[in-house]
Structure 1
Amino acid sequence: MARIAVIGAGMGALTAAARLAVAGHRVAVYERTETYGGAVRRRERDGFSFDTGPGLLPLPAVYRDLFLKTGKEPLEDHVELVQVDPSARHVFADGSEAVLPNASRAGVVAALDGALGAGAGDRWGDVLVRAREAWDRSRRPLLEETLWPNWRVLAEREPYPAVPHKRLLRTRRAGTLAEVAAWELGDPRLAALLESHALAYGLDPRTAPAGAALLAYLEHAFGTWYVRGGLRELARAVYERCVARRVEFSFGAEVARVREKDGRAAGVELADGSVAEADFVVAGIAPEALDRIVTGTAVRGGGVDEVPPQRGLPSRLTVLLALRGGRPEGTAHRTVVHAPDREAELAALFDTPSGMAAQPTVTVLRPDDPALVPDAEHEAVTLTATVPAGTERGAEYAGAMVAAAERAVPGLRDRILWQKIRTPADIAAETGAVGGAVPAPALAAAGGRLLHPSNTTALPGLFTVGGWSHPGGGLPHAGMSGALVAGLIVEGPEFRGSR
């Protein structure tokens, strides 16, 4: 039985802790804040309740596997999963709308043909077929296996089988998501639909690889899910699974230094001076925070073949709205209100540090969940937009987001009882990421820019978990990172991936 110190109580750290405890190890978690879950938090006031991190769950199979492997119990015994149908309502720049059913190819094709014109559905479906091939090619190395030692193969190999595009005398294949949207979809509304999946993760469609189309495929193939009571309930269930497996938790316990002995990690030293010796250390924290607590060793980027940490990624701005008046029957759980000028939005967000466009793309979440409101005469609504990390213009951007959301929720302003703005600074306080940056999922190609460092480090005995290491950001990816780290510790360096 090994002693294992886990730094941080984010979702990746929790999943690693639960798996390691079930394997017979003594696991202790040290979290500098007063609660678990990382960015998966909850805000409550006056009978209203809001998720302040992710609001929907893709790929629930990752957490189903966690509960089966750590207790032979279905996830549904601990949380109520609800398939969101329709998957989303999209409000486009020209005022047209499309309501897309959940995980139904035929239904999506029919919905897009009816909303955007004959042929739109088939063009979208054809892109998703190619995105499925990209998923099949990259699923194991990007999600289920430890990062390949020869990761540069992933950096150079584009998994998306783009259609040849003839222009003048040249034939090209799409290399970016924006090119896939322009050349293979041929409709600015379908382009906005495809690109919005990348933008939601803070990725610029103009530079994101063509394989980013698999982000849209994942939603189509595996559906979109909601956890009754909010995604915080998932964090609670995973935390309680850890407690049931005798994982020890210390909250308000900031790790000041990773201890080293004989050239390997040997425990942690806390800010209060106390020491916890360990045989292995698992760090579920942002790269800048990890750099501060490991002395004398280049944990990341120290070798020629090391994938450097992703830095400088955008963040998210969230506006929590407590509304008078109940949720109308038939309201979509999620509505994406697309920016009137997508190019201006991308330029404002990614080309200059000034920030958001005057009219941004906004995701509106309106859950049908009585647990989130004081009574049926009120509604809890969450607005989210991608913004530059570190921005301090929260109030200004919030006004633009509410204005955009009114395109989907008429009379929204008149219904607001109160609002709470969640800025990148709030994310930074909860996660330790500089500027509140939010990591994106790992993607192949693009020269490796969107890969994440391996879960092993230059310091033997020190492993990393969570969104800032392989396989990157997002709830499913965090869960898989926990499985990979547990495998590396339990089975040793020969471990390659989940089975």
Structure 2
Amino acid sequence: MARIVVIGAGMGAMAAAARLAVAGHRVTVCERAETYGGAVGRFERDGFVFDTGPTLLRLPAVQRDLFVKTGKESLEQSVRLDQVDPASRHVFADGTDVRLPNSSRAGVVAVLDTALGAGAGVRWGEFLGRGRDAWDRSRRPLLEEPLWPDWPVLGRDPYPALRQRRLLRGARQATTLAEIGAWELADPRLAALLDGCALSYGLDPRTAPASAALLPYLEQTFGSWYVRGGMRELARAVYERCLARRVEFRFGAEVVRIVEKDGAATGVELADGTAVPADRVVAGVAPGGLVAAALDGEGDVPPRAADGSVVPGRFTVLLALRGARDADAAHRTVLHSPDGPAEAAEVFAGRTAARPTVTVVRPDDPATRPDEGHEAVTLTATVAPHGTHGRSVDWSAAGARERYADALVAAAGAVVPGLAERLLWREIRTPADTAAETGAPGGSVPPPALAGTAGRLLYPANATRLAGLYRAGGWAHPGGGLAHAGMSGALVAGLIVEGADFRGSQ
């Protein structure tokens, strides 16, 4: 039985902790905050309850596997999952309004053909087929295996792009999502649908590799699920599973140094000077001083887009409304920017977009509101990270928060009837808040790892060159998002329990 210290109580870190405890190890989690969950937070006021991080669960099989492998109660016995239908509503700049069904490729094709014109749905369906090919070709090394030294296989883009005959240029193939939209989808609304999906993951469609096509494929194949009571309930269930497996949590315990002796990690030092000895250390934290210092500054750099641009964050406005939620309201509505390329150019250059894509979340869940005469609504937009220089926005500057919140609320008024008159109060959360709460540089939200671009969108491996030190969470292989972070926990546990013989999750 080894002593293991896990730094951070985010979802990936807790997944590693629970799995390691089941394997018989003595696990201690040191978390600088006073609670668990990392970016999966909650805000409560006057009977209103809001998620402050992810609002939907995708690839629930990852969480199901965690609960199967760590105890008797299944995921569905621990939380209630509701499949969201429609999966999403999309309102485009020309006024086209489309509701896409959940987990039904044929249904999506039919809806798009009806709303956008004959052939549009078929083109989207064929594109999803190519996204499936990209997923099948990269799934195992990208998501289910440790990042081996021969990772360059992931440097090649697995998306089977169509060959396009371009005037005076010969045959060409799409290498980015923007080119897929222009050359293969051939409809500005389908292109906006694809671009909006990429942006929601923090990716720039102008530079994101074509392999990112697997993201909409995953959404529309495996579906979108809402955790009753909010995503924080999932964090609670994972935390309680850790407690049931005798994982010890130390909250308010900031780790300031990873202790090294004879070329191996041997524990951590807390801000109050306390030493916590360990045989293994799992760093479930954002890139920064801790791991970089332990590795002499190497191997702890967050990913960048192919052109070196920043990793964006999320701007969120929580709205408490009087009046009941209308019966036909979609859980998730995406209001697409009238100029998606201009929006991406602003965000990834570190500026605020004048006309952002706004996502409106309206859960039909009594647990989120004081009574049936009120409604809790969340607005989000992908924005530049927080900072005071370079490719960032100073989200703490006077008026910056309020002005941008006004823009999101004005846009949301198109799909939330009587929004201005119903508003009781609002709470604004910016990348500056994310940075303060999670330690993520600039409040950036890590996107999932992707194949292609010569490996520039891969993350640092879970095992490090310092013996006994491992990485977990959204800033380690295989990247951000609940599913990917959960897989990082499984990979770390496999590497520690099985050692060099571990070849990936089964």
TM-score band, normalised by the shorter chain? Answer: over 0.9
Q: Deviations over 1:365-399 (max 9, x none)?
A: 00000000000000000001000000313222111
Name the structure 2 match of 1:330. Answer: 328
**Contiguous gaps of at least 5 residues in structure 2:** 305-309, 387-392
Mapping for residues 347-362 of structure 1, pairs under 5 Å:
347-350=345-348, 352-355=349-352, 357-362=353-358
In structure 2, what is the Cα distance between the partners aligned to 1:295 and 1:489? 19
Name the structure 2 match of 1:167. Answer: 166
1:462 matched to 2:458? The reply is: no
On the 8 A contact 1:299/1:457 being kept in 2, the answer is no
In structure 2, what is the Cα distance between the partners aligned to 1:464 and 1:231? 24
Cα RMSD after superposing both structures? 1.1
Mapping for residues 241-252 of structure 1, pairs under 5 Å:
241-252=241-252
Mapping for residues 425-440 of structure 1, pairs under 5 Å:
425-440=432-447
TM-score by length of 1: 0.96
Q: Which of 369, 382, 387 in structure 2 is aligned with 1:386?
A: 382
On the 8 A contact 2:267/2:275 being kept in 1, the answer is yes
How far apart are 1:406 and its partner, in Å? 1.6
How far apart are 1:410 and its partner, in Å? 3.3
Name the structure 2 match of 1:127. Answer: 127
Q: Which of 403, 408, 411 in structure 2 is aligned with 1:396?
A: 403
Q: Deviations over 1:215-261 (max 9, x none)?
A: 10001110000000000000000000000000000000001111111
Name the structure 2 match of 1:364. Answer: 360
Name the structure 2 match of 1:269. Answer: 269
In structure 1, what is the Cα distance between the partners aligned to 2:343 and 2:81? 34
1:310 matched to 2:310? The reply is: no
On the 8 A contact 2:287/2:441 being kept in 1, the answer is no
On the 8 A contact 2:313/2:431 being kept in 1, the answer is yes
Q: Deviations over 1:109-159 (max 9, x none)?
A: 11111111111110110000000000001111111000121112211x111
In structure 2, what is the Cα distance between the partners aligned to 1:404 and 1:137? 39
Name the structure 2 match of 1:405. Answer: 412
User: SS of the counterpart of 1:67?
Assistant: helix
Judge which range, 368-377 or 104-113, deviates more: 104-113
Name the structure 2 match of 1:472. Answer: 479
How far apart are 1:289 and its partner, in Å? 4.0
Amino acid of the structure 1 residue aligned with 2:357: T
Mapping for residues 79-94 of structure 1, pairs under 5 Å:
79-94=79-94
On the 8 A contact 1:11/1:37 being kept in 2, the answer is yes
Judge which range, 117-126 or 407-416, deviates more: 407-416
How far apart are 1:414 and its partner, in Å? 1.6
Name the structure 1 match of 2:389. Answer: none
Name the structure 1 match of 2:341. Answer: 343
On the 8 A contact 2:295/2:466 being kept in 1, the answer is no
Name the structure 1 match of 2:72. Answer: 72
How far apart are 1:310 and its partner, in Å? 1.6
User: SS of the counterpart of 2:479?
Assistant: coil
On the 8 A contact 2:258/2:291 being kept in 1, the answer is no
How far apart are 1:458 and its partner, in Å? 2.1
In structure 2, what is the Cα distance between the partners aligned to 1:189 and 1:206? 16
Name the structure 2 match of 1:305. Answer: none
Q: In the superposition, relative to structure 1, how do residues 296 and 380 fare at CA in structure 2: closer, same or farther (>3 Å)?
A: closer
Amino acid of the structure 2 residue aligned with 1:334: R
In structure 2, what is the Cα distance between the partners aligned to 1:478 and 1:206? 25
In structure 2, what is the Cα distance between the partners aligned to 1:299 and 1:6? 20
On the 8 A contact 1:300/1:309 being kept in 2, the answer is no
In structure 1, what is the Cα distance between the partners aligned to 2:412 and 2:133? 35
Name the structure 1 match of 2:453. Answer: 446
How far apart are 1:309 and its partner, in Å? 3.0
Q: Deviations over 1:77-129 (max 9, x none)?
A: 11000000000000001011110000111211111111111111101100000
Judge which range, 323-332 or 311-320, deviates more: 311-320
On the 8 A contact 2:195/2:340 being kept in 1, the answer is no
Mapping for residues 229-248 of structure 1, pairs under 5 Å:
229-248=229-248
Amino acid of the structure 2 residue aligned with 1:166: R
Q: In the superposition, relative to structure 1, how do residues 309 and 344 fare at CA in structure 2: closer, same or farther (>3 Å)?
A: closer
On the 8 A contact 1:323/1:418 being kept in 2, the answer is yes
User: SS of the counterpart of 1:121?
Assistant: helix
Q: Tell me the percent identity.
A: 69
Amino acid of the structure 1 residue aligned with 2:122: D
Mapping for residues 123-162 of structure 1, pairs under 5 Å:
123-155=123-155, 157-162=156-161
In structure 1, what is the Cα distance between the partners aligned to 2:360 and 2:68? 33
On the 8 A contact 2:11/2:473 being kept in 1, the answer is yes
User: SS of the counterpart of 2:36?
Assistant: coil
User: SS of the counterpart of 1:317?
Assistant: strand
Q: Which of 354, 366, 370 in structure 2 is aligned with 1:374?
A: 370
How far apart are 1:291 and its partner, in Å? 4.1
Name the structure 1 match of 2:307. Answer: none
Name the structure 1 match of 2:47. Answer: 47
Name the structure 2 match of 1:304. Answer: none
Q: Deviations over 1:31-90 (max 9, x none)?
A: 000000000010000000000000000000000000000013310111000000000000
On the 8 A contact 1:298/1:458 being kept in 2, the answer is no
Name the structure 2 match of 1:482. Answer: 489
Q: Deviations over 1:317-347 (max 9, x none)?
A: 0000000111011211000000012222122
In structure 2, what is the Cα distance between the partners aligned to 1:299 and 1:495? 24
How far apart are 1:183 and its partner, in Å? 0.6
User: SS of the counterpart of 1:40?
Assistant: coil
Show structure 1 runs of 4+ deviating over 6 A.
none
In structure 2, what is the Cα distance between the partners aligned to 1:463 and 1:82? 34
Q: In the superposition, relative to structure 1, how do residues 289 and 401 fare at CA in structure 2: closer, same or farther (>3 Å)?
A: farther
How far apart are 1:494 and its partner, in Å? 2.3
Judge which range, 14-23 or 101-110, deviates more: 101-110
Amino acid of the structure 2 residue aligned with 1:372: T
Name the structure 1 match of 2:23. Answer: 23
**Contiguous gaps of at least 5 residues in structure 1:** 302-307
